[in-house]
Amino acid sequence: MAIQYMPTLVENHPGLLLRGGTVVDPSQALNRICDVAIRDGSISAVGDGLPDDGCRVFDVSGRYVFPGLVDLHAHICWGFTDIGLVPDDICPSTGVTAIVDAGSSSWPSQDAFRRIVAEPSRTRVFGFSNISSVGIPTAGTPELASLRFVDVDRSVAAVAGNRDLMTGIKIRMGRHLIGDNGIEPMRLAVEAADQANVPVMVHVGNTPCPLAGIMDLLRPGDIITHAYHGHPHGILDDHRAVWEDVIEGRSRGILMDVGHGAGSFSFDVARSAFEQGFFPDAISTDLYTVNVNGPVFDLPTTMSKMLNLGMPLEDIVESTTSIPAAAIGRNELGTLRPGAAADVAVFELEEGDFEFSDSHGNRRRWPRRLTCEMTLLDGEIVYERR
Ligand SMILES: [Zn+2]
């Protein structure tokens, strides 16, 4: 059912009031029914019985109100890679107000990323710069087959010269992508990230060594993406217990990110890990051209999978708002604190019989699904479900 729109009481008044929704904002330890008021593009108040005050009032009772979602891992370098999606095509209708490209571009393509992708986008766009100058032109390109494609100094300079846009270094550590270079590309990526004072995001799955060997090289705030893949060298041991040294690495502050993708999320791995309380820190899609029509679809579908697999809703919201925002050094995002930009996502938690697929062709029928009803960006309605 669509949201009931109540007519404007005073014409040309910029204020908006979301009345009576269940507001889940982990950045404020908030999970209860209350109102959210928006004025001049910012959150002006969150509380009970806020006055209409001439605002446009939306009755969102029975709905959830979240901070605008932050997708920490996607591919949006359309126009100069084969895998890139257009941010404004995929984000507004899914509650995503900020999206991070995970290494499609690198230092030679930084200006293209800015001009073609970031500047024309209404959605907030950020990026991780690939440690390989090749970037990711196609999903299967072995961008680290030669270390001649790595230039630490230029990688650092590209991040340092584009702080508003570039928020980290990306490396893909799959064996088919790194040739015979072993762990050396990782060492170079961490060195660049260290010098640029940003996190490194590591793509795992078919790595040349166990996950613990990768995590040994990482620092607090660095990110393991594809954490729940079903390939060799994953988070589970032969008895399906989460490796002790993986738990230890995470307790040092290394973030575990979903990065679902076309080949990197297994229901069975996630189920076993969740039963042991090993939930992701960040939930991201790894959306690109070949998975946007399934099995990934979008961030709400990915969140719905986590919900049906047993992750608490409040944790799911934190993993798609304040945690990914902090991971890219943007604590001002992913929150409904008064004064913050009014990036807001209104969701319905639908009940029914829904089918979901993981990246390994496994299907599940589950009873709950999160569906975006409305998205606000800087207080402007950029999507409303009809
Ligand atoms: Zn990716």
370-379 confidence digits (pLDDT tens): 999 999 999 9
Q: For residue 260, how far is its CA from the centre of ligand 1 (angstroms)?
A: 9
Give me ligand 1 centre to Cα 333, in Å: 22
- Mean of pLDDT values over 322-336: 98
Residue 87 CA, ligand 1 centroid: distance in Å: 15
How many whole angstroms from 172 Cα to the centroid of ligand 1? 8
Interval between CA 237 and ligand 1 midpoint (Å): 25
Beta strands in the chain, from DSSP E residues, in sequence order: 4-5, 16-25, 30-39, 42-47, 56-59, 64-67, 69-74, 96-102, 124-130, 166-172, 200-203, 223-225, 255-257, 344-357, 363-377, 380-384
Expressed in angstroms and rounded, the spacing between residue 196 Cα and the centre of ligand 1 is 21
Cα(378) to centroid of ligand 1, in Å? 28
53-99: per-residue pLDDT in tens? 899 999 999 999 999 999 999 999 999 999 999 999 999 999 999 99
Please give the distance, rounded to the nearest whole angstrom, from the Cα atom of residue 348 to the centre of ligand 1: 28
How far is ligand 1, taken at its centre, from the CA of residue 259, in Å?
Answer: 7
The rounded percent of the chain whose pLDDT value lies above 70 is: 96
**For position 78, what pLDDT does the model report?**
97
> Measured in angstroms, how far is the CA atom of residue 42 from the centroid of ligand 1?
32
Does 18 have pLDDT greater than 80? yes
323 within 8 A of 355, measured Cβ to Cβ: no
**Can you give the pLDDT at residue 134?**
98
pLDDT tens figures, 22-64: 999 999 999 999 999 999 999 999 999 999 989 999 999 999 9
- DSSP code of residue 159: H
Ligand 1 center–CA 134 separation, angstroms: 14
Residue 11: predicted pLDDT: 43
Within 254-376, where are the H helices?
A: 267-275, 299-308, 313-319, 322-327
Question: What's the confidence (pLDDT) of residue 7?
Answer: 44
Distance from Cα 173 to the centre of ligand 1, integer Å:
12
CA of 102 to the centre of ligand 1 (A): 6
Residue 340 Cα to ligand 1 middle (Å)? 29
Average pLDDT over residues 300-320: 98
- Whole-number Å distance between alpha carbons of 324 and 25: 14
Ligand 1 midpoint to CA 28 (Å): 30
CA of 329 to the centre of ligand 1 (A): 20
Task: Look at residues 257, 173, 176, 180 and name the one whose alpha carbon lies nearest to residue 217.
Answer: 173
Euclidean distance between CA atoms 69 and 87, whole angstroms: 13
Instruction: Write down the pLDDT at residue 6.
Output: 47
Please say if the pLDDT value at position 9 is more than 70. Answer: no
Q: Which helix (H) or strand (E) element contains residue 90?
A: helix 87-90
Q: How far is CA 174 from the centre of its chain?
A: 21
For each of the domains in the chain, give its residue range(s) and CATH number, in order of start.
4-66+340-349+364-384 (2.30.40.10), 69-327 (3.20.20.140)
How far is Cα 204 from Cα 190, in angstroms, rounded to an integer?
Answer: 15
Question: With 60 as the cut, is the pLDDT of residue 8 above it?
Answer: no
The rounded Å distance from CA 61 to ligand 1 centre is: 36
Q: How far is the CA of 275 from the centre of ligand 1 (A)?
A: 26
pLDDT of the residue at 28: 98
Gap from CA of 345 to ligand 1 centroid (Å): 24
Q: pLDDT at position 12, please?
A: 47
Helix pair angle (184-196, 152-160), 10° resolution? 30
Given this model, what pLDDT does residue 53 score? 85
CA of 73 from ligand 1 middle (Å) equals 6
- On average, the pLDDT of the chain sits at 96
Q: How confident is the model at residue 3 (pLDDT cuts 50, 70, 90)?
A: low
Measured in Å, residue 130 CA sits from the centre of ligand 1 at: 11
More confident position, 103 or 3: 103
Residue 115, exposed/middle/buried by CB under 10 A (0-12, 13-18, 19+)? exposed
Q: Residue 382 and residue 352: Cα distance in Å, rounded? A: 27
Averaged pLDDT for residues 235-254: 98
